[in-house]
Amino acid sequence: MAGPERDDTPERDDLSAEIRGAVAGFEKILEALPDDRASLEALAHAYEQIGQPDRAKDYLFRLADVLVSDGDVEGARELAERIEPHAEDDPRARELIVRIQGLGAERVAGPAPVQVSTEFNMAEELSLAWNLLQAGQLNQEEYASVVQDLTEMCAGEALATVSVIHVLEARAHKRMDQILNFISRECGTPFVWLSSFELQNQVLSLLPMDFMLRRGAMVFETLGDAALVVVMNPYNQSLRSDVEALVGRACHYFTTLPSEFDRALDKVADVMTAPAPAAEE
């Protein structure tokens, strides 16, 4: 029986070349910062996309080693789910699983504090860009440009929210509205104008400022016992889990323009540091 037909089209070759260009950028970052989590995560994802699973696995294991060494219990245990399929055939995977399972075992029993990562996850943004490419929302040239811009933003020192839709808006993408509508439908995240809401301290303080900035998420309102949260990457399930762990209540998720998110974020510090109104006598 004939095997599956290979896709050797020039378009596919061009796409692989574009991803390899992004790979080179992340590997340069690792030359200067060998333990950079975002680059390790991005390289694991990129090598998977270009059909080099062994290289992808190597970077995945390197990332796990960094997380364990840093004592990041939550991040390491999340990553363990991706390492476990390799444990049967690779002793390195088995060793990492044992190290992860023992991580934090010395802690005194009792309610564990909520611990989530504030680190930007490049792999999740690359996955979003890849989803848009596969769905025909981006062409190959646009995809390559997005990956390149993400790489440069990740390497920069400025504190700013990094996301695929930030890149698209900055490039004044002509199908921005179409892409946001697509993401909204796919992820069940209705579009909202954050400027229509009066941001309140007690609502904004449900998430740490650093988390909002780096992870691209903000609680903008509450409805009964639930929190209304806008996220820059609605596909990112680990982001949703972390938001819910921090907020401690059910969350409903929404999409907005990056410029809306950034303007709201600019107001957060002012709102959260404003003195409480004086009580009436």
State the pairing for strand pair 226-231/217-223: antiparallel
**Beta strand residue intervals within the chain, DSSP E:** 217-223, 226-231, 251-254
Q: Note every long-range contact of 194-203, with CB atoms under 8 Å and residues 24 or more positions apart, other chains counting.
A: 194/218, 194/220, 194/230, 194/256, 194/260, 194/261, 194/263, 194/264, 195/260, 195/263, 195/264, 197/221, 199/264, 199/267, 199/268, 199/271, 200/271, 201/271, 201/272, 201/274, 203/227
| Amino acid letter, 277 | P
- Split at pLDDT 50, 70, 90, the class of 108 is very low
pLDDT of 199 over the 70 cut: yes
Question: And the tokens for 112?
Answer: 């564990």
Task: Using a pLDDT cut of 90, give the percent of the chain over it.
Answer: 28
Tell me how far the alpha carbon of residue 208 is from its chain's centroid.
Answer: 16
Query: What is the pLDDT, as a whole number, of residue 127?
Result: 85
Lowest mean pLDDT among 43-47, 217-221, 276-280: 276-280
CB 248, CB 153: distance < 8 Å: no
Q: What is the mean pLDDT of residues 134-161?
A: 82
Question: 216 or 120, which is more confident?
Answer: 216
Return the H-helix or E-strand segment holding 166. Answer: helix 164-170
Domain ranges of the chain: 14-102, 122-272
Query: What is the pLDDT, as a whole number, of residue 136?
Result: 92
| CATH code for the part of the protein at 122-272 | 3.30.300.160
**How far is residue 137's CA from residue 129's CA, in Å, rounded to a whole number?**
9
Question: And the tokens for 45?
Answer: 């994802």
Print burial letters for 169-198: b (CB count within 10 Å at least 16), e (below 16): beeebeeeeebbebbbeebebeebebeeee
pLDDT of 85 over the 70 cut: yes
Class of domain 14-102: mainly alpha
- Split at pLDDT 50, 70, 90, the class of 3 is very low
Query: What is the pLDDT, as a whole number, of residue 1?
Result: 39
**How far is residue 207's CA from residue 8's CA, in Å, rounded to a whole number?**
47
Query: What is the pLDDT, as a whole number, of residue 7?
Result: 45
Question: And the tokens for 54?
Answer: 């062994």
Q: What is the mean pLDDT of residues 181-201?
A: 91
CB 228, CB 176: distance < 8 Å: no
